[in-house]
Structure formats: C-alpha cells, structure tokens
Amino acid sequence: MSKICPDPSLEHAHLPAAMRPNDPYEVSGIQTGFQLPRWIWRTMFTCYALFFIGIGAATGRDTATIFMILISILYTLMYFTTAALLHRQKGIERPSPLVQSGGFLDTWTGPMDSATVAAQILAVPAGFAFLGIIFFVIRASTGF
C-alpha cells in the first residue's frame, strides 16, 4: 500500500489506461497495453515450425546437419517457453488492446493498428517460413 494514496486501486487512476498497472498493488511502474494477441504468437510459432520442417526436409541428410537443426529448434522452443513461463508468472492481465475491434497498441512512436503490429512482428518469422519452404521446393524439384 502506498504512503501517498491509502487506496491502492486509486493510486494510478490519473494515468491513461495504457499506463495503468494490471495489479492495483503494482509499484514498479510497468506499462500495460503492450500485450500481443494470442494469434500473433501462434502465427509466429507456426512460421518457425514451417521453417524447421522445410529446412529439415531439404537438408537433413547427415547427422551433423540434423544435430544443428535440433539445436536451433531447442533455442526456438526456449524462446517461446520463456515467454509462456513469464506470462504465467505475471498472472492474468488485461486483454490485448488489439483484440478489440479497431483497437490500437500504444507504442513509443504512437498508436499502431493490428495490421501494422502484425507486419512488424511477423516480418522476420514469415521470411524464415518462406525460406524454409523455398529450400524444400528447390530440393524437391532437383530430386531428393
């Protein structure tokens, strides 16, 4: 409980919604409103899965290559697992502002709509998925 405001639920009432903490007892100054919708996380995971499937099918012919691909898969799983564990540790949060129709994500450079956020976040994973599929198509067209 804050010494300034006896009711912690009112302590951040003067801040805009994106700046209010999820927890009324939160004092670290974290900003809410930066949550990504679940579909972006799932799309990102799917893109990396397509990449690894394509690369694995196209190049996974010897033990060393398979070993390197497995190490890369483990690093990718560590990334997604860490994000999931940290999300569970924090607990229930407000839903992403992008889930609402016409919602905007508050950023340092201003609000961004769902399509803009998805384009920026998914550009690299989509490129990797494309690369994996293209490697597979090239390998398949030249014969396995």
DSSP letter string over 111-131?
A: -B-HHHHHHHHHHHHHHHHHH
Q: Domain residue spans in the chain?
A: 36-142
Write down how long the chain is. 144
Across 4-18, average pLDDT: 56
**Is-contact 22 34, C-beta < 8 A?**
no
DSSP lists the bridge partners of residue 112 as 105
Q: pLDDT tens for residues 93-122?
A: 677 778 876 778 877 788 888 889 899 999
Q: Any alpha helices (H) in 22-113, and if so which ranges?
A: 38-59, 63-90
pLDDT of residue 12: 55
**Is-contact 58 66, C-beta < 8 A?**
no
Please give the C-alpha separations between residue 67 and each of 54, 62, 135, in angstroms, as whole numbers: 15, 9, 18
* pLDDT classification of 1: cutoffs 50, 70, 90: very low
Across 44-69, average pLDDT: 94
Overall pTM > 0.75: no
